[in-house]
Amino acid sequence: MAACAAPGPGHSPEDPFDPYEKTNRKIHEFNRSVDRAVIRPAGRGYSNFLPDDIETLIGRFAFNLSLPGSIVNNILQGNGRGATEDTYRFVVNTTMGLGGFFDPASELGMPEPTDADFGETLYAWGVREGGYVELPLLGPSTERAAWGKVVDIFTNPLTYALESPENYYGTVASVSSRLSDRGRFSDTIDSILYDSADSYAQARSLYLQNRRFKLGQGREGSYLDPYDSPYGTAEDPYDLPTGSYEDPYDE
């Protein structure tokens, strides 16, 4: 936490704090080359191969398995209401929804999931955002969010409750869901990565706006994550809004 840098005097909070821009741009070009050579064609092929209904089921299943981690983070934030609502949703969808392949919780009118992560927990604890960083394969992040991603690997109780290989089902489902999203939202993502005059600045701006909006004003967003890749954890860089599986990306 102490490693999270702070902007210098006179730096506007609205402007991106990017002390590692030179290195970030090199990583950005690496990420683009991997996306162009591997992830984009794989995502398109995967999405074209699977029927839309199957993709929807896999996405729901992956998101449902991520909910225990969200519950833990809500508890750490002192958000008892969010933890309770996510718990009810997880129980209903796991039982009535056959493991999360279906979403009876939404049909019953239950509140939207909070989709909390440890980066958000650090924000609630007063940890500074730190500098903007681009992570290899994972894409846009901040120092605070990057540390949050590391901790999120260990915060999902299902990782410890399930035996091998069942404890890997969530990871496999998440990879499948992210690959599907890359194919389904290919045009929008390509417009950011390959049609922008400066794709690095565009991705940075969209990520920071989306992340700050989520942390400061609620859980709704309107930006797609060009780097929500199958190499991330259940909580990827541009965590999208309401936690709905169909929203492609969030941090």
Helix 169-184 × helix 186-193 angle, to 10°: 80
pTM of the model: 0.78
Per-residue pLDDT of the chain (251 residues; tens, 9 = 90+): 445 666 766 566 667 899 999 999 999 999 999 999 999 999 999 989 989 899 999 999 999 999 999 999 999 999 999 999 999 999 999 999 999 999 999 999 999 999 999 999 999 999 999 999 999 999 999 999 999 999 998 888 988 887 778 778 888 888 999 999 999 999 999 999 999 999 999 999 999 999 999 887 444 333 444 444 434 333 443 444 444 444 444 44
pLDDT digits (tens, 9 = 90+) for 229-241: 434 333 443 444 4
Cα–Cα distance measured from residue 188 to residue 200, given in angstroms and rounded to the nearest whole number: 15
**Predicted local distance difference test score (pLDDT) of residue 221:** 37
**Predicted local distance difference test score (pLDDT) of residue 248:** 44
Work out the mean pLDDT of the chain and round it to a whole number: 84
